[in-house]
Structure 1
Amino acid sequence: MNLNLSADEVLTTTRSVRKRLDFDRPVEPEIIHQALEIALQAPTGSNRQGWHWMIVTDPAKKKALADIYRSIAEPYFAMPKPEYREGDARGERMSAVSSSSQYLSDNLEKAPVFVIPCMWGRVEGQDTGAVASFYGSILPAAWSFMLALRERGLGSAWTTLHLPGDGEKRAAEVLGIPYEKVTQVALLPVAYTIGTDFKPAKRQPLETVLHHDTW
């Protein structure tokens, strides 16, 4: 299914989808491959194309990854939430975001497909420029993948809660990823969405984050 959305519509209505992921509808492998082919057109530092993409559909491996995710997510969810002044769009959405994040954590392994974007190499001990270049060579491609999913009636959520502490290493052991050589960047649960009527999110006004020539 192609939604025939304009570029602006895809860019402004691609959401982190959690409660509206359809866990019961299978996802065809060719759809994932189509979206990844589009992702590979993203910019990459020095044209190195050091990205790798781990697709996980095995139920036992999804469950193992979900358990790692939850072991880190639960303490994180219990932490005090940021406080925002009245009228701040971030504060207005805090309760809904917390609820949907908990829902995804509780049901993560039900997603038909996990996609884990990876980069060849590690960033430990490198300076800011090297780290920015490293992640800048995979994040645009991962976002392009999510945009391509949206155009095809699927959704995902950008999650990183399986990575802190020893989580990334434990996940690497589950999947056979060479931890010393490859960095996992995220875990994207992928499914068709329940409905496709997503709208632009409420954000802070541009003028509150805009700077010209000086901070």
Structure 2
Amino acid sequence: MNEMSAETVLTTTRSVRKRLDLTRPVDLAVVRECLTIALQAPSGSNRQGWQWLVVADADQRAAVGAVYKRACDEYLESSGAAGKLFAADPARSAVQQRVHSSVAALGDTMGQVPVLVIPCLRVPGGLGSGNQAGLWGSVLPAAWSYMLAARTRGLGTAWTTLHLKYESEVAEILGLPADVHQAALIPTAYHTGDGFRPAPRQPLDEVLHVDRW
């Protein structure tokens, strides 16, 4: 595990898509370490309704990857695809084009990534139409904690939900019970290259509101 300050981990945990090492195995003991850390995240009413599916079997990964590829291709053709945003801003558009390219690359390789982690919620009464923020807020912080822990161990991850367009197909592949709902798909692998640095972001004052909008 690399010794990093909290600030370094928080500002350099990037979405890794093109630089995932598809050939280097990931020891599931390391994934377990990261998930153990993730379980320290908060959850509503301390319910801890999260469930974690770790997919390492090659055939299972390939099957999930095929569904993801289909969803990814449809996303890339949509008007909301990363590369089609901010077209009027040349500087920002250039960044979006790189993101678009990396999304496409992950679509091609998802089924080859050594480990796929799928955070889930068990919701016996169904998702309903109530406080969805509170519901998903009980698993998303833990999933992010997993990604941060992976970063300190030299692992790259990416947060994606494109496969949820075909959630029932993935659920069938993985044998998920009807009351278990997927929150994301997190490819996990060692990364190639030297490392990561903070990404360009909007200035805080452009998005900050104090007391009133």
Amino acid at match of 1:65: V
Amino acid at match of 1:198: F
**Partner in structure 2 of residue 62 of structure 1:** 61
Equivalent residues of 1:66, 1:108 under 8 A apart: yes
Q: Could you tell me how far 1:98 is from its partner in structure 2?
A: 0.4
**Partner in structure 2 of residue 207 of structure 1:** 205
Q: Could you tell me how far 1:87 is from its partner in structure 2?
A: 6.5
Q: Could you tell me how far 1:60 is from its partner in structure 2?
A: 1.0
Instruction: Say what the alpha-carbon RMSD is for the aligned residues.
Output: 1.4
**Partner in structure 2 of residue 116 of structure 1:** 118
Runs of 4+ in 1 over 2 A off after TM superposition: 82-89, 122-125
Give the TM-score of the pair, scaled to structure 2: 0.93
Work out whether 1:139 is the aligned partner of 2:137: no
CA distance in 1, matches of 2:158, 2:187: 6
1:64-87 CA distances to partner (integer Å, 9 max, x unpaired)? 111111111111101232235436
Equivalent residues of 1:88, 1:204 under 8 A apart: no
Equivalent residues of 2:126, 2:179 under 8 A apart: no
Work out whether 1:77 is the aligned partner of 2:76: yes
Equivalent residues of 1:120, 1:181 under 8 A apart: yes
Q: Could you tell me how far 1:176 is from its partner in structure 2?
A: 0.6
- Which of 187-196 and 169-178 deviates more? 187-196
CA distance in 2, matches of 1:142, 1:7: 17
CA distance in 2, matches of 1:88, 1:95: 10
Equivalent residues of 1:112, 1:190 under 8 A apart: yes
Q: Describe the SS at the equivalent of 1:109.
A: helix
Q: Could you tell me how far 1:26 is from its partner in structure 2?
A: 0.4
**Partner in structure 2 of residue 38 of structure 1:** 37
Work out whether 1:17 is the aligned partner of 2:16: yes
Amino acid at match of 1:3: N
CA distance in 2, matches of 1:8, 1:193: 20
Query: Unpaired segments of 5 or more residues in structure 1?
Result: none
CA distance in 2, matches of 1:85, 1:203: 18
Query: Unpaired segments of 5 or more residues in structure 2?
Result: none
1:78-118 CA distances to partner (integer Å, 9 max, x unpaired)? 123223543664x3410100000000100111110000000
Amino acid at match of 2:95: R
Equivalent residues of 2:38, 2:145 under 8 A apart: yes
Alpha-carbon distance change, 117 to 86 in structure 1, aligned in 2, over 3 angstroms? same
CA distance in 2, matches of 1:47, 1:10: 26
CA distance in 1, matches of 2:200, 2:68: 28
**Partner in structure 2 of residue 48 of structure 1:** 47
**Partner in structure 2 of residue 188 of structure 1:** 186
